Structure 1
Amino acid sequence: MDALRAELLAAFAAELAEHMAGIREALADAAAGRQVDLREFSRRTHSLKGAARAVDLPQTEAAAHEAETILLAVERGERTLDGTTLAALRSLADAIEDGARAGDGTGDTAPDAAVPSATPLPGAANAPSDRVHVAGRHVERLARSVHDLSNQVAGQDQLTEMVDALAAELADMPATLDGEVARRIARLVGATERLRRELGRQRWSLERAASEIERDAERILLLPVATLFEGHERMVRELAASQGKFAELTMEPIEAEADRRVLQALREPLLHLLRNAISHGIETPAARTRAGKPEGGSIRVTPTTDRGRLNIVIRDDGAGLDPKAIEARAREAGLIAPGAPTPSRRALYSLLFEQGFSTSRTVDEVSGRGIGLSVVAETVRRLHGRVRILPGRPTGTEIRLSLPLALARQALLLVEAGGTRHALPAANVDRVLRLTPDAFDRTEGGAVLMLDGEPLPVVELADLLGLPAGEPGDGARPALIVEGADQRRVLLVDALDDVRSLVVGDPTAVAADVPMVWGTVLLEDGVALVLEPEALLAADAAGPRRQPRVAPAARPVQRTVLVVDDSITTRTLEKSILEAQGYRVLIAVDGLAGLERLRSGMDAIDLVVADVEMPRMDGFGLLTAIRNDPALQTLPVVMMTSRNSPDDIERGLSLGANAYVTKQEFDQGTLISVVQQLV
């Protein structure tokens, strides 16, 4: 058996062990008369069915399908979890495990072997010799221990400061001393200086060693992203053929690595999405011919990485989404209140992720149970990611997933609110703005900010967390545009501190009962809570909703914008976009030319839009010069750039940019909305 099948079966063994442990526990609870989560029970059997199909274990797949059918009948009230039903489910659980063992040709189907991982699966003996299987929890503990070591090394600064203070104290001893006392003090001064140098040398060595160990420990958690997609082409072809269809799967190559826990958790959702594309998307050859399409359907998976995120796009060229059918089934299922208006497309498509929701009117081995997409949504949420469904271009359906490449280390934005420092995942912060008091519209439901043509609710982060609010002010406030799976919100904070890549720890040790907390990070001066973006978007403010803490002010009419960019194409594009909105636009070819134009006093310039990478003086240099010039320091500056590393964002914020917009592609709507907020 080849290495690929061994790899897939090794992954299936871990998944089988996890799900069977949950199934056995549910059966024990039911037999003891305890409450059983039927949805979770069904989800596990559904997931095992899909995984078994992927590794070509038909006996396991059939047994899981039959167990799922029984559980769905119990959910609908057509059966009860009586002795007969429980006996049938126990037999099917045994059959699931037996089918996996039978695949290795040994014929060992002992019904009492309750731990599937204890019995090698097909191909396990042929696993690559350079692989060692280690429990994930041990690797995670190693990574956190190494991080703690790094923090302890950083604490060597205190020893250095103590030695420096001692050296200074000895140096200040009275010069009038003589004799033995003076000689002893001189020796102490020399010894202290040697100690200081040795501490510095050892600290440098320790920092270097700890850094190397930390990197090596984190590499242990990594696997090639490409392993997530291996072996699915055949599954797609066979599954399509079983439904009388033709479909081909194309996987775009990728060289990146990701946390093994992320990849392992994504195997099941990926299978569900591929099965869903075949069942609900790809049409029969006859239907495709009538629509003027090739007989065979196409499913394309495109993985990419960006800013510490793994982004996966799954596109099919099938029939596409039917908003009317989705709305009808949602109303039928009670997900849309009677008489309520039709939701937005984004909100409507998000209903497809609700458990039990399916647009299929028939139930078969592949679809109609309303479980697959809910598994995807739950897994992605647990991994602190996002998933969206969009219409395909030009036809079909497109599903986008975005998840962190690593679970432990995250790029975090540190902010202050209510006198406390908090952290938010940088990937969920769409942009950072500094908003003046007149930026918000007041409505009966609270303050809103018009951004990209969409009214976004505005709320104080301190209010969401139930923390004391500061005093109102009439200056600009730092604001975060936080986005989740299907909504965005403006969070006002007191200050922006930093952007760092940090190891996120388990929150239960210090914040077990605190809502909206994802984890914790260890900082130099204590522990900060990492906030859960989806929870922040869904939460209401603690107590009565307060208006944002800004004093009302009249919006001044300001129209002159200076665009500073060395690219003639970008300058021309930005100029045409802004002039179309009624702004007067001036041009400068680099930072030095822009600064000269500002200081000349020839024009009353109200806002600067500057690129970062320019000759002679870059955007950061221009921003620094503006903030250091008393006549210009209050001038709003927008940094428009494709540079999107945490260090660049941190630098732009620390230098005083009013907005730092990072986009992979130029977005004219973003530019217009940001400028409208600032002038």
Structure 2
Amino acid sequence: MVDLRQELLAVFDAEYRDHLRVIRDLLTAGCGTRQALAEIFRRMHSLKGAARAVEIPAVEEIAHDVENRLSTLMERGGTLDDADIATISRALDDIDAIMEPPPPPASVAPPDGAPDGRAAPPATGDGGGEAYVQVPVSRLDALSGAVHDLMGVAERHDRLWERLGDLMRDMRALSHAPQRIQADPVAIFSRMTRRLMAIGRDHELMTGQGDRALQRLGEEVHAISLVPAGTVFGSLAAMARRIAREHGGAQAQVEVRLRGMEVQAERRVMQALRDPVLHLLRNAIVHGHESRAQRLKAGKPEQQTITLTVTLTGVRLQVRVSDDGCGPDLKAIAARAVRQGMIHVDAPLDARQLLARVFEPGFSTRAHVDHLAGRGVGLSIVAEAARALHGTVAMEQGQPCGTVVTLTVPVSQRQRTVLLVENGKRMIGLPGRVIRHLLRVMREDIRMVDGCPFAVLPHPEATGTQPQATDGQAEEELVPIVPLSAFVGEDDVPACLPERSGAVTVAVMEVDGVSCGFAVERMVEVRTLLISDASAVGLDSELVPGIAWPREDRPVFVISPDRLFERWRARKGRGMHFAPAPPPQATPEARRAPLVLVVDDSITTRTLQKTILQAHGFDVMLAVDGEEALMMLLQSSRRVDVVVTDVEMPRMDGFALLAAIHADPRLADIPVVLMTSRDNEEEIRRGLEGGARAYITKQKFDQGELLATIRGLL
């Protein structure tokens, strides 16, 4: 009986959600007709009976009270007024509260049972027991029709094989009676040819019919798995109102507007988004909260408004949570990111890059922790859910106020849109969701910055959104170029930028606000493919989590952009170079300028020193700390002549860099100049004894001294 009850609860879960979704839609539309009133009454009556069947008396009682109210109203021939609508809305919220108690905070273990001693409702996620969806009869009829068409094709296919078998038997009979062929070989051959050609034509026709029948069947099966957004998200409005009361007191009110609840997507996708969307609603209430006086002073309504919008664009589902609260505090976010070591204090980050940091684990700008927020868990859960669904999440400042967070995921967990590119003997799929630009860069247009190739991104159309330099001219946006083969190529093949006809083909991808261009041999096309788990022997399952098999039977290895970017950051451009070109003839080699590596965690100091050195004929490479400098020294295709380094830096300071340089025989003879803001004799002695060739204090910084010191070392 326990199994039967669990099955009934699962069926009731789908039924009550559908009833509440339809009733809410009718209430939102105004339900000013008797037909609408009758529909609400009918659904409440059905809900009451279903609740009685699964023994949930609290839901049965609420439905009974609403049913009585509607019955009295219908007997008088009236329609719903504002008070009736408010009462019914509260009743729907109460039912949601019974069936779906709010999830506990991450730090609190969930209770064993539901509140008030009621039986816990069935889990609606993918784990646990069976989940049920309601399917319209029309959809079942369409599915039945598709199966019938496919069975018809199979029957015709059997008859075709019978005809082919008859032809083969006649041919074998002729092979055993050669005298029959000798009688009239031309006529026999023509007859056999006509029969074979007819079978071929019918087979071609039947193949097309089978493909169309299979496609229709697939579409109908997929359609059955779709559910309206309101089925999953409809109850979140009531939960948001409860969260508002918990945060602001019994009188706190928040208006939650639901848009696009009729949009359909796979139940698994919708259900996987439910908890992340609830986190976003909680975040909007807690972080966007303003007092009544603050809202009135800003010219806003007394009540905070949160809008949950679901849209469908092509094969991508977009869920947007926007509010009219105080909006993100960029200064607080930047300060928190600096304290957690995510960015340098003088790093030039725009609003988009700063807001990408809020999705890092443990990030929160709240000064205190309570049961609603402050632990820095909620938004990282949202980001992780988006990645698990092969989607993205982004936060932006609302206009004119508030915050907007957008989740974008494929409408199907298996179907994904990818850019197919050739990489050696492999066909690679790059997820379309992270592709920002597709470029063909001429070799002479590639910029070399600190020994690494960069591409200039095309500016957007003249919309006023492109960055501006101080002189009023539009700044150039550069992105590094790395060969995709450095990460998914053959181990014994050197990774270099693939060049064809003097140009490099680049797919610029963006992850968490950071862009990088991956050079490929050839772009093929954009396709929507069914992706399966990559379980083939020898595949890197972290970098290549999915594989698809198009009709041409050549596998497509689908790349994880998050893992690709992680490995790109770890390698810092290793193996990036052009294939060697023949030296120009009869041209004397130009005299090479000395190369200076400037190491400082202050972008202002780096820029100043670079400007001074370049103005006096030096080539300059830049590094933000000792760790990056050491990697550049080891990987640079050109030898560094002098290192000028700050002492106090994160990760690896100047003394540690000095020791690492002198410990490596390949680098030990490179002269090192230490620069620091501290004029301390003990530190000066420590640096000189450690092998530094010179020591310059920033308080007494003079560009003439710096130039003279470097020239003296050369």
1:320 maps onto 2:327 in alignment = yes
| Alignment equivalent of 2:365, drawn from 350, 353, 359 | 359
Counterpart in the other structure of 1:525: 553
The AA in structure 1 aligned to 2:396 is L
1:505 positional shift: 1.1
| Alignment equivalent of 1:288, drawn from 282, 295, 304 | 295
How far apart in 2 are the matches of 1:537 and 1:350? 15
1:349 maps onto 2:351 in alignment = no
How far apart in 2 are the matches of 1:262 and 1:428? 19
Query: Aligned residues, how many?
Result: 441
| Alignment equivalent of 2:574, drawn from 544, 550, 559 | 544
Secondary structure class of the residue paired with 2:545? strand
Q: How does 1:477-488 map to 2 (within 5 A)?
A: 477-488=504-515
Q: Structure 1 residues 552, 367: CA separation in 2 closer, same or farther (over 3 Å shift)? A: farther
Higher RCO structure, 1 or 2 (CA under 8 Å, sep 6+): 1
How far apart in 1 are the matches of 2:99 and 2:214? 49
* 325-334 vs 364-373, which moves further: 325-334
Q: How does 1:537-576 map to 2 (within 5 A)?
A: 537-540=565-568, 544-547=574-577
1:457 maps onto 2:464 in alignment = no
How far apart in 1 are the matches of 2:333 and 2:572? 35
Secondary structure class of the residue paired with 1:526? coil
Secondary structure class of the residue paired with 2:527? strand
CA contact (8 A) 1:282 1:316 kept: no
1:474 positional shift: 4.5
CA deviation vs aligned residue, 1:533-572 (integer Å, no higher than 9, x gap): 222333226983313569799xxxxxxxxxxxxxxxxxxx
1:278 positional shift: 0.2
Counterpart in the other structure of 1:493: 520
| Alignment equivalent of 1:436, drawn from 430, 437, 442 | 442
| Alignment equivalent of 2:222, drawn from 213, 218, 221 | 218
**TM-score using structure 2 length:** 0.54
CA contact (8 A) 1:53 1:235 kept: no
Percent of aligned pairs with the same amino acid: 31
The AA in structure 1 aligned to 2:326 is A
| Alignment equivalent of 2:388, drawn from 342, 361, 382 | 382
| Alignment equivalent of 2:192, drawn from 168, 183, 188 | 188
CA contact (8 A) 1:4 1:230 kept: no
1:392 maps onto 2:398 in alignment = yes
Counterpart in the other structure of 1:199: 203
Q: Structure 1 residues 226, 551: CA separation in 2 closer, same or farther (over 3 Å shift)? A: farther
CA contact (8 A) 1:353 1:373 kept: yes
1:294 positional shift: 2.3
Q: How does 1:26-105 map to 2 (within 5 A)?
A: 55-57=96-98, 61=102, 64-65=104-105, 68-69=106-107, 93-95=111-113, 101=119
CA contact (8 A) 1:386 1:403 kept: yes
CA contact (8 A) 2:447 2:455 kept: yes
CA deviation vs aligned residue, 1:133-188 (integer Å, no higher than 9, x gap): xxxxxx9xxx9xx9xx99xx9xx9xxx9xx9xxx9xxxxxxxxx952544432332
CA contact (8 A) 1:466 1:542 kept: no
Q: Structure 1 residues 8, 390: CA separation in 2 closer, same or farther (over 3 Å shift)? A: farther
Counterpart in the other structure of 2:336: 329
Q: Structure 1 residues 116, 516: CA separation in 2 closer, same or farther (over 3 Å shift)? A: closer
Q: How does 1:630-645 map to 2 (within 5 A)?
A: none
CA contact (8 A) 1:5 1:55 kept: no
| Alignment equivalent of 2:310, drawn from 303, 306, 319 | 303
Q: How does 1:227-266 map to 2 (within 5 A)?
A: 227-242=231-246, 243-244=248-249, 245-253=252-260, 255-266=262-273
Counterpart in the other structure of 1:279: 286
Q: Structure 1 residues 480, 341: CA separation in 2 closer, same or farther (over 3 Å shift)? A: closer
1:416 maps onto 2:422 in alignment = yes
The AA in structure 1 aligned to 2:558 is V
- Unaligned segments of structure 2, at least 5 residues: 1-11, 22-92, 138-142, 172-180, 460-475, 584-714
CA deviation vs aligned residue, 1:386-425 (integer Å, no higher than 9, x gap): 1111112121111122111112122222111223211122
1:54 positional shift: 10
Secondary structure class of the residue paired with 1:240? helix
Counterpart in the other structure of 1:575: none
CA contact (8 A) 2:290 2:326 kept: yes
How far apart in 2 are the matches of 1:195 and 1:433? 49
CA contact (8 A) 2:99 2:121 kept: no
Q: Structure 1 residues 99, 302: CA separation in 2 closer, same or farther (over 3 Å shift)? A: same
Q: Structure 1 residues 55, 222: CA separation in 2 closer, same or farther (over 3 Å shift)? A: same
How far apart in 2 are the matches of 1:194 and 1:59? 63
Q: Structure 1 residues 102, 259: CA separation in 2 closer, same or farther (over 3 Å shift)? A: closer
Q: Structure 1 residues 350, 129: CA separation in 2 closer, same or farther (over 3 Å shift)? A: closer
CA deviation vs aligned residue, 1:489-513 (integer Å, no higher than 9, x gap): 2121111212222211111245653
Q: How does 1:108-119 map to 2 (within 5 A)?
A: none
| Alignment equivalent of 2:410, drawn from 401, 404, 408 | 404
**TM-score using structure 1 length:** 0.57
How far apart in 2 are the matches of 1:241 and 1:349? 28
How far apart in 1 are the matches of 2:302 and 2:190? 92
The AA in structure 2 aligned to 1:386 is T
1:341 positional shift: 3.3
* 490-499 vs 240-249, which moves further: 240-249
The AA in structure 1 aligned to 2:231 is T
How far apart in 2 are the matches of 1:196 and 1:374? 59
How far apart in 1 are the matches of 2:481 and 2:294? 48
CA contact (8 A) 1:488 1:537 kept: no
CA contact (8 A) 2:484 2:518 kept: yes
How far apart in 1 are the matches of 2:336 and 2:534? 39
Counterpart in the other structure of 1:535: 563
CA contact (8 A) 2:135 2:224 kept: no
- Unaligned segments of structure 1, at least 5 residues: 11-51, 71-88, 105-114, 132-138, 168-176, 554-679
How far apart in 2 are the matches of 1:473 and 1:490? 17
Q: Structure 1 residues 386, 116: CA separation in 2 closer, same or farther (over 3 Å shift)? A: closer
Secondary structure class of the residue paired with 2:197? helix
Q: Structure 1 residues 69, 501: CA separation in 2 closer, same or farther (over 3 Å shift)? A: closer
CA contact (8 A) 1:386 1:401 kept: yes
The AA in structure 2 aligned to 1:184 is I
Secondary structure class of the residue paired with 1:478? strand
Secondary structure class of the residue paired with 1:394? coil
1:255 positional shift: 4.3
1:373 positional shift: 0.6
1:353 positional shift: 1.2
Of the two, which has the highest radius of gyration? 2
1:214 positional shift: 1.8
The AA in structure 1 aligned to 2:329 is D
Counterpart in the other structure of 1:475: 502
How far apart in 2 are the matches of 1:195 and 1:9? 57
Secondary structure class of the residue paired with 1:463? helix
